[in-house]
Amino acid sequence: SSELTQDPAVSVALGQTVRITCQGDSLRSYYPSWFQQKPGQPPLLVIFGENDRPSGIPDRFSGSISGNTASLTIAGAQAGDEADYYCQSRDISYNHLVFGGGTKLTVL
């Protein structure tokens, strides 16, 4: 299957740690990328590869994977982290790219 499944919404108290998950068969073979998208803005890459961050992304953001489930962990959540988060990987069969449905993160 090429699908990536994410919880539609997650909330976290200010300053706490939150984990956003992504499930899919392709994750057994390929590391996902994670994107943050705020309203009216294009997506922003926050995690790629095993657990790499582009320049400018704080180390509060980290990625991990276990079996067919990938996680994006945000430590010490801030109000500015409130956004939609998307995982992205590859379709095993057709070498296509695929996105998860997105998780809306609310910081309380």
Partner 1 sequence: EVQLVESGGGLVKPGGSLRLSCAASGVTFSNAWMSWVRQAPGKGLEWVGRIRSKSGGGTTDYAAPVKGRFTISRDDSKNTLFLQMNSLKTEDTAVYYCTTLFYWGQGTLVTVPS
> Footprint of partner 1 on this chain (CB under 8 A)?
33, 35, 37, 42-45, 48, 54, 84, 86, 88, 94-102
In whole angstroms, the minimum distance from the beta carbon of 9 to partner 1 comes to: 13
In whole angstroms, the minimum distance from the beta carbon of 72 to partner 1 comes to: 15
Cβ proximity to partner 1: between 21 and 88 the closer is 88
Cβ proximity to partner 1: between 53 and 77 the closer is 53
Residue 67: φ, ψ to 5° = 60, -120
Cβ proximity to partner 1: between 17 and 106 the closer is 106
In angstroms, what CA-CA distances link 103 with 10, 20, 29, 90, 94? 7, 7, 22, 19, 25
Torsion-angle region of 67 (φ positive above 0: left; ψ -120 to 50: alpha; else: beta): left
CA atoms of 22 and 56, how far apart (whole Å) = 24
**Count of other CB atoms within 10 angstroms of residue 41:** 9
In whole angstroms, the minimum distance from the beta carbon of 31 to partner 1 comes to: 13
Cβ proximity to partner 1: between 17 and 93 the closer is 93
